[in-house]
Structure 1
């Protein structure tokens, strides 16, 4: 028999979440303790690429390339993502959006030229924020995890390598607009 409905005023109110210290502790456990040169940043536990940076799986340069790739995808193609990039979409000019679309196409073509598997693994981690098992603490690493991590790192290296081409293509586009 169904439970009788109660008036909205009599419904139990949702209590304020007092789990913040627990959440922070879980984030710190996710990103690790950090290094002696740089302590762990729990704010990077929100997205897999940040966790990979904090745990030492990717370099800062690879992390920045991944963020640039995500921005080109989110703003250039108008795809909302979780990194807070969707919030600044309205503030982007049409020229900047066109430049980011060019960047996205060059990034995507360079990754696809390497291999479909590298592009898929990089996209899953960086764009779609799918958490690979090798990022989770306590995971027993297998050979497949190592291969996956190598493909992601190679994909991020490809993104770094294509950045000069993107700068050149954007300059050429600006010159054509100005001429």
Structure 2
């Protein structure tokens, strides 16, 4: 019997977390799919994957705008980039066919294309661990964005985007209740995101050839 050179079992192929741990993909079961559909309600053009994350769900149902959602993602990306020890790890589900966006780029709006590319390139995990200089730069951006908001606004944006917490107002709204005391938290989140959206850095024009 032939033995593998160097001994031990061969390394499994597949995507890995920054720690080197193999990403374990779990197919969503029927109950999970049913729950996600219930959370999405009658949201137009929503995908099942939107129900995996509270702010993606809020965007799909029109409770925050696409611009506000992108502002929150930029804030969370700066926080993760300046705190690499908080990189998420764990199970990652494969998207079921109904959750995948199978459209060609030509079939998507300019806003959808821009959002897709910004989400990909703002994902710190896809670029590997940041250097010390990158951490310092990200920390400066994160602090500047935090100072632009009130303490209450910053707390809501941090909980919803950096920690991906499920706020009570989302659960109440999914149940059809839009007049609870939790709506104050929604207003704080939206006002904080509006501040961040206004602070979006402008790309410099390309230098003439």
**TM-score with structure 1 setting the length:** 0.68
How far does residue 139 in structure 1 lie from its aligned partner after superposition? 5.1
CA contact (8 A) 1:125 1:132 kept: yes
CA 1:19–1:99: 2 relative to 1, 3 Å: closer
Residue in 2 aligned with 1:27? 36
How far does residue 81 in structure 1 lie from its aligned partner after superposition? 4.0
Deviates more, 1:89-98 or 1:21-30: 89-98
> 1:129 aligns to what SS in structure 2?
coil
1:121 to 156, 159, 164: 156
2:195 to 148, 151, 158: 158
Matched, 1:102 2:140: yes
CA 1:19–1:159: 2 relative to 1, 3 Å: closer
* Bigger Cα Rg: 1
Residue in 2 aligned with 1:13? none
Residue in 1 aligned with 2:179? 142
Ranges in structure 2 where 5+ consecutive residues have no aligned partner: 1-25, 93-122, 205-209
How far does residue 106 in structure 1 lie from its aligned partner after superposition? 1.0
How far does residue 163 in structure 1 lie from its aligned partner after superposition? 2.0
Equivalent pairs counted in the alignment come to 144
> 2:165 aligns to what SS in structure 1?
coil
CA 1:149–1:94: 2 relative to 1, 3 Å: same
Q: State the alpha-carbon separation in 2 of the partners of residues 135 and 96 from structure 1.
A: 34
Q: State the alpha-carbon separation in 2 of the partners of residues 161 and 18 from structure 1.
A: 39
* Runs of 4+ in structure 1 over 4 Å off: none
Matched, 1:57 2:63: yes
**TM-score with structure 2 setting the length:** 0.59
How far does residue 146 in structure 1 lie from its aligned partner after superposition? 2.3
> 2:146 aligns to what SS in structure 1?
helix
How far does residue 61 in structure 1 lie from its aligned partner after superposition? 0.6
